[in-house]
Amino acid sequence: MTLNIGWIGCGRHASQMLMPQLAKNDLRIAAVCDLNEQAASKAAWQYGADASYGNFRDLINHKGLDAIGMAVGPEVHHDAALAALAKGLPVFIEKPPAKDLASTQEIADAADKAGKPVVVGFMKRYATGNRIARNILKAPEFGPIMGLSGYYMNEPAYFAGKADYSSFYLHHCVHYMDLLPWMAGAPFADLSVRVNVSEPGHILVHLGFECENGSIGSVAMGTTQSRGTPTESMTIMGDHKRIEIQNIIHVKYFRHPPFKADDREATLNPNVDTLCWEPNFTAAANEDHKGYAALIADAAAAFRGETSAAPQIHDGVVAMASLEHMTALIEQEFKKQKK
């Protein structure tokens, strides 16, 4: 069944990463909206939309829509989601779902009242390497997850005057506020931070955490690395087992193999030796290893009332609560360093 979707925000990220996935899942872009009239017109032409608008409220009132999708700023996410839910329309929101926890909770309350799904764009859950790892972790053979460690880096944003890290927190760190508990299989129970700033805008945060299931870990997040190099890595530890994910496309699963040097009959045992996976980029298949295609597929299923694993707005509430906890701890560290 084809659904008509109205799309808000026609910037590069939306038009190149998200909107191409809609038609694959029988979501027809019926109308688009952007403050930039040229961007809206270009997207309407590119995706065959019937109309383009400069105001999201006009788009939401476009006749015949079955759902609303958006990738704009967090304040517009909040306002447009509430307006769409008031019209009885399900919603896809790119992360962050809103500017703060209170605004995210407002969306969740409105979604509950309307009885409509609001899917949040936590595509890190869908990156191929992360999905492979999560499926291994869910199997009884892996056993309890003891710990997680990793890094998730970015380049410095452009700051004018006093550095404002809110964009870094909202658009970057929020991913791992969702991904780490999802991978561990339990929400955060406790957080701690250490912060290093080499110059304004160049921040490194080490986040320590414990999850409600006893898993412990740490992750480094910052604006101190080049985007031209791999900037993401994770290791998940079990008892005599571990999974390593590099650059979201290289996965290694270590078990408990015997030493082989003195065994003249040694071979590779699929039950205990290391398994490795990486994608074949020489194939002609148009695969999306970042996860946008799989995310939109689950969002489409949610819009149709089908079973879906898509992250919902209540997952966004949990992630934003963790993010606000972390940022409060960072501010405390800044105050300590100034003394």
Give residue-wise pLDDT tens across range 55-73.
999 999 999 999 999 999 9
As a whole number, the mean pLDDT across the chain is 95
Give residue-wise pLDDT tens across range 115-172.
999 999 999 999 999 999 999 999 999 999 999 999 999 988 656 667 789 999 999 9
What pLDDT score does 156 carry? Answer: 82
What pLDDT score does 206 carry? Answer: 98
Q: How far apart are CA 292 and CA 294, in angstroms?
A: 6
What pLDDT score does 287 carry? Answer: 87
All residues at 6 or more sequence positions from 238 whose CB lies less than 8 Å from its CB, including other chains: 142, 143, 144, 145, 146
What pLDDT score does 246 carry? Answer: 97
Give residue-wise pLDDT tens across range 85-116.
999 999 999 999 999 999 999 999 999 999 99
Give residue-wise pLDDT tens across range 285-309.
888 999 999 999 999 999 999 999 9
- pTM for this entry: 0.95
Q: Topology of 128-289 in CATH?
A: Dihydrodipicolinate Reductase; domain 2 (3.30.360)
CATH top class, domain 3-121+292-310: alpha beta
For residues 173-183, give the mean pLDDT.
Answer: 98
Structural domain spans, the chain? 3-121+292-310, 128-289
What pLDDT score does 158 carry? Answer: 59
